[in-house]
């Protein structure tokens, strides 16, 4: 199974630039077209939050218009820039999304089980799952303790070292870790939020953070570092799961580069 992973799209209403600078809508169009250039088409696409920038219905209208170009099934979760209810309304045709409450779900119709977690806190930018959400996750994982499983949430549940991102990270990572580490069939935890590729060992599995299709947040590690971003490089991820081999993750840069050349 080949799973594509895009994050932090930050779609704006038509004709409006992200942060007044970047054509995030055009960047998403390029990202969708990029997925269709692979020599093997992904079986599924995952979008790990911040689908739009201000949670406005007009932004979700623009997003759905762009995603109509994507001839591949896809799953979404919200990020801190999304509005939970406006997202639910915009994706009312996505039956895996619950009709009320946090947008947690489990899709179990593929060789890899996909669990989506809604780590958003309405009105805030940090991430959190309440006790009910953690209990729900435990129940979902307990239903099958052998099937390869992928968990997706927006906020990485760890300190990434970039001070202006860690100010609104997922703060109570230990509680989430305590649930996940009870199960040895979680192949990977996917997230977004940080607009960069990051990975680390966590809860007896691996976390992969996906770059943004819009901008890259600068890698600034000094405690006094001010927030900064660049218009690229942009990328998505590909997660290839094979029976007997498990899952391997690749980062794929989006854009035009010289080549191909006949060597490897």
Per domain, the residue ranges of the chain are 2-221+229-254
CATH superfamily name and code, 2-221+229-254: Metallo-dependent phosphatases (3.60.21.10)
**104 pLDDT band (50/70/90 cuts)?**
very high
In this model, does residue 260 exceed pLDDT 90?
Answer: no
Give the count of beta carbons closer than 10 Å to the beta carbon of residue 204.
12
For residues 77 and 210, give the distance between their C-alpha atoms in angstroms, rounded to a whole number. Answer: 14
Q: Is the dihedral of CA 95, 98, 100, 104 positive or negative?
A: negative
Query: Are the beta carbons of 148 and 112 closer than 8 angstroms?
Result: yes
In this model, does residue 256 exceed pLDDT 90?
Answer: no
Render the burial of 120-131: b for 16+ CB within 10 Å, e for the rest: bbeeeebbbbee
Structure tokens at 218: 């600068």
For residues 192 and 76, give the distance between their C-alpha atoms in angstroms, rounded to a whole number. Answer: 12
In this model, does residue 14 exceed pLDDT 90?
Answer: yes
Query: Are the beta carbons of 103 and 84 closer than 8 angstroms?
Result: yes
Region 42-67 average pLDDT: 98
Query: Are the beta carbons of 239 and 247 closer than 8 angstroms?
Result: yes
């Amino acid at each position: 199974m080949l799973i594509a992973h895009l994050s932090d799209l930050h779609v704006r209403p038509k004709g409006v630039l992200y942060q007044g600078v970047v054509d995030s809508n055009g960047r998403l169009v390029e990202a969708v077209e990029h997925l269709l250039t692979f020599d093997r088409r992904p079986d599924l696409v995952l979008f790990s939050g911040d689908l739009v920038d201000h949670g406005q219905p007009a932004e979700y209208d623009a997003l759905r218009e762009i995603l109509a170009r994507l001839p591949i099934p896809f799953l979404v979760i919200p990020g801190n820039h999304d509005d939970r209810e406006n997202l639910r309304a915009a994706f009312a045709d996505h039956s895996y999304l619950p009709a009320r409450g946090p947008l947690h779900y489990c899709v179990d119709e593929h060789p890899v089980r996909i669990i989506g977690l809604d780590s958003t806190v309405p009105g805030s930018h940090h991430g959190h799952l309440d006790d009910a959400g953690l209990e729900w996750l435990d129940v979902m994982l307990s239903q099958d303790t052998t099937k390869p499983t992928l968990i997706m949430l927006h906020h990485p549940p760890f300190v990434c070292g970039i001070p202006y991102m860690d100010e609104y990270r997922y703060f109570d990572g230990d509680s989430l870790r305590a649930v996940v580490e009870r199960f040895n069939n979680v192949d990977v935890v996917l997230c977004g939020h940080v607009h960069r590729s990051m990975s680390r060992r966590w809860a007896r599995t691996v976390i992969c953070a996906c770059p943004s299709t819009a901008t890259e947040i600068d890698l600034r590690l000094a405690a006094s570092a001010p927030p900064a971003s660049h218009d690229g490089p942009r990328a998505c991820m590909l997660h290839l799961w094979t029976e007997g081999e498990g899952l391997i993750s690749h980062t794929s840069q989006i854009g035009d580069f010289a080549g191909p050349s006949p060597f490897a």
